[in-house]
Amino acid sequence: MNRSSKKRIFTIVTHVVMILLGIFMLYPLIWMLFSSFKTNSEIFGSMSLLPKEPIWDSFAKGWNGTGRITYTTYYKNTFLIVLPTMAFTVFSCSIVAYGFARFRFRLKQQLFVLMISTLMLPNSVLVIPRYLLYNKLGWLNTYFPFLMPALFACYPFFIYMMVQFFRGLPRALDEAATIDGCNSFQVYWHILMPLCKPALFSAAIFQFIWTWNDFFNSLIYINSVRKYPVVLALRMSLDATSAANWNQVLAMSVVSLVPGTILFFSAQKYFVEGVSAGSVKG
């Protein structure tokens, strides 16, 4: 057997293994999709993937919710939290990263180390101080506990990732723009930001998914059902009655995956570039 034949066989085997591994990883999602068309008894009493007697109205009934509030309200609330948080995070963290990467000022290294050290703090340590602070500010049962940290660049992971990306861009671009009459903000906005799309998209995708799936903070800071995001609505649907309609719960779980999936595949090119570039530049 020659070298080209061995290489071809190795490629085929590799693709088969990867396909099987992908199917294995996607099986829970596939099961969730098909189970949304099953009855409770079939979900818990049958190992079959396909439903025997499909229920076609699980998505419609699930969307209507368990009370007067439908998932239209829950999705609107979720987007009111997620989209501004994502936008504020990208804007504020990129400005802070630009400052650390491009400017010289006193205590720069110490402040950068202090910022990075906050990554080591467990989130559970910050729960009580944040709750007391937000309570004094009157922000409980509002979306400010999600928006204000994003507006003031309280996410050191994204700052560090963008600093690494900014450092990989040549300073000659800044100097050329300054010679042409640009000030520091214009250099940031018109020159560096378009070149940092991979890092910005990576931060946006991470923040979108993290905020969309943030059950813990939503449960702590929001106590009005009318202001619930999707994650709390899904949990509430299990508490509404003693016997939950699992096909409706699974149907709404499937729908809740759609926005994040669309965003990821739409920006997959920039996401991969941002993660890989941020890991090697510096």
Q: Is residue 15 part of a domain?
A: no
pLDDT band at 275 (very low <50, low <70, confident <90, very high): low
Q: Is residue 70 part of a domain?
A: yes
Q: Is residue 243 part of a domain?
A: yes
pLDDT in tens, 194-225: 988 888 988 999 999 999 999 999 999 999 99
Q: Give me the CATH number covering residue 270.
A: 1.10.3720.10
Helix (H, G, I), strand (E, B) or coil at 265: helix
pLDDT of res. 238: 76
pLDDT of res. 17: 94
What mean pLDDT do residues 182-197 have? 91
Instruction: Give the contacts of 126 (CB within 8 A, at least 6 positions apart).
Output: none
Q: Is residue 170 part of a domain?
A: yes
Q: Is residue 2 part of a domain?
A: no
pLDDT of res. 48: 84
- Provide the domain limits for residue 157: 58-280
Q: Which amino acid is at 176?
A: A
pLDDT in tens, 105-150: 999 999 999 999 998 888 888 999 999 999 999 999 999 999 999 9
**In 10 A of CB 281, how many CB atoms?**
14
pLDDT of res. 282: 41
Domain count across the chain: 1
Is the pLDDT assigned to residue 253 strictly greater than 70? yes
Size of the chain, expressed as the number of residues it contains: 282
**Are the C-beta atoms of residues 98 and 169 closer than 8 Å to each other?**
no
Q: Is residue 199 part of a domain?
A: yes
Q: Is residue 94 part of a domain?
A: yes
What mean pLDDT do residues 17-38 have? 92
pLDDT band at 280 (very low <50, low <70, confident <90, very high): very low
What mean pLDDT do residues 233-247 have? 76
What percent of the chain clears pLDDT 90, i.e. is strictly above it? 61
pLDDT in tens, 73-116: 999 999 999 999 999 999 999 999 999 999 999 999 999 999 99
Is the pLDDT assigned to residue 241 strictly greater than 90? no
Q: Is residue 262 part of a domain?
A: yes
